[in-house]
């Protein structure tokens, strides 16, 4: 039976190609959605760009027939129809007349009264609740959803092998382990079983005889090899746990081999701190410089949508959102010994100098569209607040010699229409899994190094 999927405006603003995601079924766009798209089209944000793209797609489909009667979407029989009827359909008398959300629900109710199987697709949870009040099926747009947080790819695994193999692995840096020599412990069967490794997956290798006898390695696509940068201290920073060792390996590897790095983890696992430390090391301490510029971007809803209306230059507008970067730089430059007021003031002046001389540059995420940058160390912080489209735009920006670093905590979402399964960070992680050009690692809650309180709060709150 043909289903009628009624699309909310936020679905199209989030994913312009959503109209093509329903196979042989009918896609209904109420006329009020067209009006809302028109209201956003002049924005310089991603929302504005998506609005314009949707409008172009619908205009192109308009040439195939009458949108009010329905036009073909694909070879599977899918139909797109703009709905202008059901103006007299009664919904809840307490709901505000003329509100776009209520008009969309009115269309859903009118179609349902005609005995059609209607499903409202909306990323607005309250909209879905109101639909259920009218006894209309409602669901989120799932086409770009990935697995739940606990099932998402972490870029690491614990595996087991014999002590003899670990000893041989430790014997020489050129030694490696074939994947068939390691096993994973199955919590369900309580037995060892084989494991399918992913290229660039990091491994904590434990002995079956003694769990304290371990080694660290990385699967390069054919064999398990040694970590090359395990004992390095970029910009004076020493990794404090296994997760940070894996993170250091991702960051220290050249852009030719690892142009994309995705690091996930809760607050306090030093994602931003470590990315800045390695970036400064590569830019200032290495000769010749591996990267010409350090660029830091951070998606923020008010910043990306309303930045043009704030006073001041671009840098001044972004500055309040980059205070966390300044805090990390201060910690990097001060170390544990800075206590005197004069010394602290000098460090603060040095941090400011880095921005003044554009050693470190900050830009809005929305302004990265259309760029092609070379020899950049690009940190995209808090990427869990980006959309999949924004993440795609970021990953497709780099030219030769540029390294892209995506950071974030999938469980800490501030965007009203994103969650832990639909944000740009996890979308990029899922789609780039297995690529030899993408290195990933997720840091665990017990690897929080900010403070004992931060670690405790991350576990409890």
**Model pLDDT, residue 199:** 97
Residue 144: strand, helix, or coil: coil
How many angstroms from the chain centroid is the CA of residue 431? 11
DSSP 369: T
3.40.50.1010, 1.10.150.20, 3.30.70.3290, 1.10.510.10: which CATH number matches 4-139?
3.40.50.1010
**Model pLDDT, residue 152:** 93
Residues forming a β-bridge with 440: 262
323-334 vs 271-280: helix axis angle to the nearest 10? Answer: 60
**Model pLDDT, residue 178:** 96
- C-alpha 7/C-alpha 108 separation (Å) is 10
DSSP 223: S
Per-residue pLDDT in tens (0 to 9) along the chain, 461 residues: 789 999 999 999 988 999 999 989 999 999 999 999 999 998 877 788 899 999 999 999 999 999 999 999 988 889 999 999 999 999 998 999 889 999 999 999 999 999 999 999 999 999 999 999 999 999 999 877 787 888 899 999 999 999 999 999 999 888 999 999 999 988 778 788 999 999 999 999 999 999 889 999 999 999 999 999 999 999 999 999 999 999 999 999 999 999 999 999 998 899 999 999 999 999 988 888 899 889 999 886 443 445 555 566 666 767 777 888 899 999 888 866 666 788 888 999 999 999 989 889 988 776 666 677 889 999 999 999 998 888 998 898 788 899 999 999 998 888 877 888 889 999 999 999 999 999 999 999 889 887 778 777 767 77
How many angstroms from the chain centroid is the CA of residue 317? 23
What is the length of the chain?
A: 461
Q: How many CB atoms lie within 10 A of CB 2?
A: 11
What value, to the nearest 5°, has the Cα angle with vertex 177 and ends 171 and 183? Answer: 125
Round to the nearest angstrom and report the end-to-end CA distance of the chain.
46
Domains of the chain, by residue range, sit at 4-139, 149-226, 240-460
- C-alpha 214/C-alpha 458 separation (Å) is 28
Q: Which CATH architecture has domain 149-226?
A: Roll (2.30)
Q: Which CATH architecture has domain 240-460?
A: 3-Layer(aba) Sandwich (3.40)
Q: How many CB atoms lie within 10 A of CB 51?
A: 23
How many angstroms from the chain centroid is the CA of residue 386? 6
What value, to the nearest 5°, has the Cα angle with vertex 34 and ends 30 and 36? Answer: 110
What Å distances lie between residue 141 and 80, 320, 408, CA to CA? 17, 33, 22
**Model pLDDT, residue 313:** 66
421 contacts: CB under 8 Å, gap ≥ 6: 145, 146, 147, 148, 149
Q: What share of the chain is helix, strand, coil (3-state, %, to 5)?
A: 40, 20, 40
Element (H, E) at 200: none
Q: Quick one: tokens of 101?
A: 């959300």
Q: Which residue has the tokens 């690892």?
A: 258
- C-alpha 174/C-alpha 448 separation (Å) is 32
Q: How many CA atoms lie within 13 A of 459 on its CB side?
A: 11
**Model pLDDT, residue 122:** 96
* Peptide bond just before 315 cis, omega within 30 deg: no
Cβ contact 366:395 at 8 Å: no
Q: How many CA atoms lie within 13 A of 271 on its CB side?
A: 25
Backbone angles phi, psi at 312, to 5 degrees: 95, 175
**Model pLDDT, residue 139:** 95
What Å distances lie between residue 346 and 236, 279, 352, 355, CA to CA? 19, 22, 10, 15
Of 192, 187, 188, whose CA–CA distance to 207 is shortest? 192
Residues forming a β-bridge with 83: 30
**Model pLDDT, residue 304:** 45
**Model pLDDT, residue 311:** 60
Domains 4-139 and 240-460 share a fold: yes
């Amino acid at each position: 039976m043909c289903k009628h999927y009624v699309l909310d405006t936020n679905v199209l603003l989030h994913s312009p190609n959503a109209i093509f995601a329903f196979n042989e079924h009918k896609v209904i766009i109420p006329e009020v959605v067209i009006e809302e798209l028109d209201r956003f089209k002049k924005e310089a944000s991603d929302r504005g760009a998506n609005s314009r793209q949707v409008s172009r797609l619908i205009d192109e489909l308009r040439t195939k027939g009458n949108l009010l009667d329905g036009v073909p979407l694909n070879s599977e029989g899918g139909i797109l129809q703009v709905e202008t009827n059901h103006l007299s359909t009664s919904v809840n008398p307490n709901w505000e007349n003329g509100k776009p959300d209520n008009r969309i629900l009115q269309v859903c109710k009118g179609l349902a009264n005609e005995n059609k199987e209607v499903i409202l697709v909306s990323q607005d949870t309250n909209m879905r609740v109101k639909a259920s009040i009218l006894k209309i099926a409602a669901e989120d747009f799932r086409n770009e959803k990935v697995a739940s947080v606990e099932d998402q790819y972490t870029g690491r695994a614990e595996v087991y092998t014999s002590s003899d193999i670990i000893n041989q692995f430790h014997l020489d840096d050129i030694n490696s382990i074939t994947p068939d020599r390691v096993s994973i412990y199955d919590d369900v069967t309580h037995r060892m079983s084989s494991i399918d490794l992913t290229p660039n997956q990091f491994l904590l290798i434990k002995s079956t005889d003694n769990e304290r006898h371990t080694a660290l390695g990385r699967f390069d696509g054919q064999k398990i090899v040694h970590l090359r940068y395990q004992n390095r201290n970029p910009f004076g920073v020493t990794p404090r746990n296994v997760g940070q060792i894996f993170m250091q390996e991702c960051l220290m590897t050249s852009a030719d081999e690892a142009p994309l790095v995705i690091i996930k983890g809760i607050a306090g696992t030093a994602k931003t701190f470590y990315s800045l430390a390695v970036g400064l090391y590569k830019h200032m301490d290495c000769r010749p410089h591996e990267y010409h510029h350090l660029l830091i971007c951070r998606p923020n809803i008010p910043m990306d949508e309303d930045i043009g209306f704030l006073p001041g230059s671009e840098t001044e507008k972004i500055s309040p959102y980059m205070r966390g970067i300044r805090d990390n730089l201060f910690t990097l430059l001060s170390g544990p010994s800075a206590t005197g007021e004069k010394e602290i003031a000098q460090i603060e002046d040095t941090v400011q100098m880095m921005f003044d001389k554009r050693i470190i540059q900050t830009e809005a995420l929305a302004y990265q569209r259309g760029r092609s940058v070379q020899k950049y160390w690009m940190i995209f912080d808090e990427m869990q607040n980006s959309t999949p489209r924004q993440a795609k735009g970021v990953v497709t920006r780099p030219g030769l010699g540029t390294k892209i670093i995506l950071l974030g905590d999938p469980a800490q979402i501030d965007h009203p229409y994103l969650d832990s399964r639909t944000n740009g960070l996890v979308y990029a992680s899922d789609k780039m899994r297995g690529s030899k050009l993408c290195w990933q690692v997720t840091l665990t809650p017990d690897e929080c190094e900010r403070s004992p309180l931060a670690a405790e709060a991350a576990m409890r709150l």
